[in-house]
Structure 1
Amino acid sequence: MSQITSPAPYTISRPQDVIDIINKNSAINTSVGVIFIALGGILIDAYQAAMVGFGNKYIAVQFGISPGLAATVNASVLIAALIGGLLANRVINRFGQRRAFLIGMALCTIGAAAVAIAPNIWWVLVCRVVMGFGLGIDFPLATNAVAELRGSSSKKTGSSVNLWQMAWYVSTTVVYLVVMLFLMSNVAEADLWRYGIFAGAVFAIIIMILRYFFIGESAMWAARVGRYDEACTILRHRYGVQASVGKAVPAEHQAINEHKIQGGYGILFNKRYRRRTILGCVVATMQAWQYNAVGVYLPLTLAGILSGGLMGALSGSAVVNALCGITGGLIGSLALQRLGTRRQSMYGFVVVTLALLALGALATASPWLSLGLLGSIIFFHSAGPGGLGMTIATLSYPPSIRPTGVGFARAIMRTGAIAGLIIWPMLWGSLKTDAFYWLAAVPFIGFVTCLLIKWEPLGANVDVEDADVLSELEQK
């Protein structure tokens, strides 16, 4: 009788060994539910962004300021998130994935709960900054966690990471449904934004609890800081892989100097990574600009086009987000393996450009035509470049600088979000539907960039570059 023996366990003696194991073995549970839990901070980011867009005019009235100044105060969350994104790699290298997730969501929860009871605009400003730091820290951690669950060399990783765009529209649809629920519960219209933001704090607490139990610590981080026994435990529980620590672990691989990893920003612009960084940043920034003009202010735009008052604008926004945003995000993730990140972004930018030009010419012709064009913008934004800037950034760098690359791209992206959040109300107020002509320049720039830079990260095994990057960091 032959005896069946289990395969010999892996032996790890350096961080690259853990990276290689994960690239060969996806996590046991990579269901959509687990992916959404990992992307939970993005859900909160989307929720709060949409809630701010809805509440902007009410904040202006309550505190006696102009809508432009209210938008500027609300945009402080994006400036803080920009800084938080740049700090994300420092936080994860110092505290690890599990505690970094808690830090990011805790800041967001505290800020959201406090802004809901704000007595003056300065209180709102401080709370928005606190929220921004938390959201900025969280985003790179979220996409990095998804990449680690799947392994960056798998083509399925791109589809999983890109699900954050679908998650975004699920969250924004929830915003309008929550506001409608409060409105039907006889909450005063002027206070809807307060109730809505507080509900976001409750959602953030739920995300924190789910992440703590379902996502946990990063095996790559544990190995990078020399905790090889912990890395083996994570590999066994999360990936079903038996691994043991090698007898002789070279001293230089016991723990990579934290400060040197934090200095990875220069590497993003070296000869190898420069084109990848530019492509990811431009796609992310242009999509954020167009979204924060059209998507965040969708109720404002629809109120100027459709009849039915606030409830009509909220209902229309919920329908457009559900039918176009969620569907677009899902179709975009499914089509990604066929088209690739660069081409899919390029096609999406083209359609959004044409739709914006058509809106500028035909917005006053028919409310239903305008609604259809707005829906097409949301759909092709979501299916195209909406999520792909971050997907490109996530898949373009090895683990040691992945949070740095994603954090940097996300930080640059925030400049586009700030521009859309602040400039669009001003353009809409002075130009009305002619403002769509000006906005069309934004996706056109994204299209040209995708046309010129031919880098495709989908399926590229960038994790094999990790040892070279760590070596380069050690030499600094």
Structure 2
Amino acid sequence: MSQITSPAPYSISRPQDVIDIVNKNSAVNTSVAVIFIALGGILIDAYQAAMVGFGNKYIAAQFGISPGLAATVNASVLVAALIGGLLANRIINRFGQKRAFIIGMGLCTLGAAAVAIAPDIWWVLVCRVIMGFGLGIDFPLATNAVAELRGSTSKKTGSSVNLWQMAWYVSTTVVYLVLLPLLLSGIAEEQLWRYGIFIGAIFAVVIMILRYFFIGESAMWAARVGRYEEACAILAKRYGVHARVAAQPPLQSLSVEKAENKLRGGYGILFNSRYRKRTLLGCIVATMQAWQYNAVGVYLPLTLAGILSGGLTGALAGSAVVNALCGITGGLAGSLLLQRLGTRLQSMYGFALVTIALLALGTLATTSPWLSLTLLGAIIFFHSAGPGGLGMTIATLSYPPAIRPTGVGFARAIMRTGAIAGLIFWPMLWGALKTEAFYWLAAVPFLGFLTCLLIKWEALGANVDAEDAEVLAELEK
């Protein structure tokens, strides 16, 4: 009688061994639900961005400031998120994925709960900064966790990471579905933003709990800081892989302190001859898409209120429909098309179509409300299906694990400059020019199109994790 034997266990003697195992073995559970849990901070980011965009004029009225100053105060969350993104790698290296998730979402929860009861604009400013730090820390964690669940060499990883764009629009649709019943229940318009932001804090607590149980610690981080037994336990639980520490002493591991102190070297590597093009492409795509989205997407109720009839109820309902029919479906279509087109071409085509739609909207917006709604929907769809999520996807798939959080954090930080520009300047531009403002905005996606045309780097399917040992050696220097 033949005896069935289990496969020989993997032997681990260095961090690269764990990275290779992860890339060969996708996690046992990579369902859409688990991916969305990993991307949970992005859901909260989208929710709070849309909620504050809705509440901008009410915040200005309640605290006796101009809408432009209110937008500047609200944009403080993006400045703080920019800084948080730059600090993300240090926090991840110091505390690990599991605790860093709690730190990021914890700050966001505290800030959101406090801003809902803000008595003055300075309170709002402080709370928005606290939220921003949390969101900035969380984003690199989220996309890195998804990449680790799939393994960066799999083309499915790009589709999974890019689901963050679909998740974003799911969350912004929820914003309007939360606001509508609050409005219909008799809550005063000027108080809606407070209730909505507080509900967002509750959502953040739910995300923290789900992540704690379903995502957990990073096997790659555990190996990088010398916790090889812990890495083996994670591999067994998450990937169903039997691994054991090699008899000889483990090599190439970093202490927590050394891992933390490699931050500056990590940023230097982003601009060396190997990674410069990848960094520029990811950052510019991310920045241009953020600029166009924070002008059109965040202020969608404001824009629709100026185009459609029906008051606030009509604007909220229209925003929910546009986000659901165009944003969510665009994000899903973008993830499905990604394996066929790749990150660069898909970004390029998306930018081109958004440029055309913005020019058409500037010309035809006053002719028909329904045509305007259709063109706004087209902008949201082509943004979501194209470059909307791909700047972060390019950054996630362009770097090995040792500097992936650094690369994503840096790209996300630079991206925030585009978001700040859209958030602050669009209300001013819209107030001064109305529908002619769309002509000026068209320059943003056109610059994104030119960037994708000129920089020819394709991140999808690139075996960047094979570069990890070399990068670790460079960081050690």
Answering whether residue 477 of structure 2 is matched by residue 452 of structure 1, we say no
Q: Is the 8 A contact 1:395 1:457 kept in 2?
A: yes
| Residue 253 of structure 1: how far off its partner (Å) | 2.8
Gaps of 5+ in 2: none
| Residue 250 of structure 1: how far off its partner (Å) | 4.3
**Cα offsets for 1:400-423 (capped at 9, x unmatched):** 100000000000000000000000
**Cα offsets for 1:332-378 (capped at 9, x unmatched):** 00000000000000000000000000111110010000000000000
Q: State the match for 2:130 in structure 1.
A: 130
Determine which of 347, 354, 357 is the counterpart of 1:355.
357
CA distance in 1, matches of 2:99, 2:473: 27
Q: State the match for 1:239 in structure 2.
A: 239
Answering whether residue 408 of structure 2 is matched by residue 377 of structure 1, we say no
Q: State the match for 1:463 in structure 2.
A: 465
| Residue 255 of structure 1: how far off its partner (Å) | 3.6
Q: Is the 8 A contact 1:220 1:399 kept in 2?
A: yes
CA distance in 1, matches of 2:285, 2:356: 17
- 1:253 match: secondary structure: coil
- 2:389 match: secondary structure: helix
Determine which of 413, 420, 423 is the counterpart of 1:421.
423
Q: Is the 8 A contact 1:325 1:382 kept in 2?
A: yes
CA distance in 2, matches of 1:118, 1:255: 42
Instruction: Report how many residues are paired.
Output: 475
**Cα offsets for 1:145-181 (capped at 9, x unmatched):** 0000000000000000000000000000000010001
CA distance in 1, matches of 2:35, 2:404: 18
CA distance in 1, matches of 2:409, 2:249: 31
CA distance in 2, matches of 1:367, 1:354: 18
Q: State the match for 1:26 in structure 2.
A: 26
Q: What's the % identity of the aligned pairs?
A: 84
Instruction: Say if 1:254 and 1:133 are closer, same or farther in 2 by CA, change over 3 A.
Output: closer
Q: State the match for 1:212 in structure 2.
A: 212
| Residue 259 of structure 1: how far off its partner (Å) | 3.9
- 2:406 match: secondary structure: helix
CA distance in 2, matches of 1:250, 1:390: 33
CA distance in 1, matches of 2:255, 2:57: 51
One-letter amino acid of the counterpart of residue 43, structure 1: L
- Could you list the structure 1 runs, at least 4 aligned residues long, displaced by more than 3 angstroms after superposition: none
Q: State the match for 1:324 in structure 2.
A: 326
CA distance in 2, matches of 1:363, 1:407: 37
Q: Is the 8 A contact 1:260 1:473 kept in 2?
A: no
Q: State the match for 1:258 in structure 2.
A: 259
Instruction: Say if 1:259 and 1:204 are closer, same or farther in 2 by CA, change over 3 A.
Output: closer
Answering whether residue 298 of structure 2 is matched by residue 285 of structure 1, we say no
One-letter amino acid of the counterpart of residue 34, structure 2: V
CA distance in 1, matches of 2:157, 2:134: 25
- 2:270 match: secondary structure: helix
One-letter amino acid of the counterpart of residue 436, structure 1: F
Q: State the match for 1:96 in structure 2.
A: 96
Q: State the match for 2:299 in structure 1.
A: 297
- 2:345 match: secondary structure: helix
CA distance in 2, matches of 1:448, 1:252: 41
TM-score (normalised: structure 1): 0.99
Q: Is the 8 A contact 1:88 1:136 kept in 2?
A: yes
Q: Is the 8 A contact 2:112 2:131 kept in 1?
A: yes
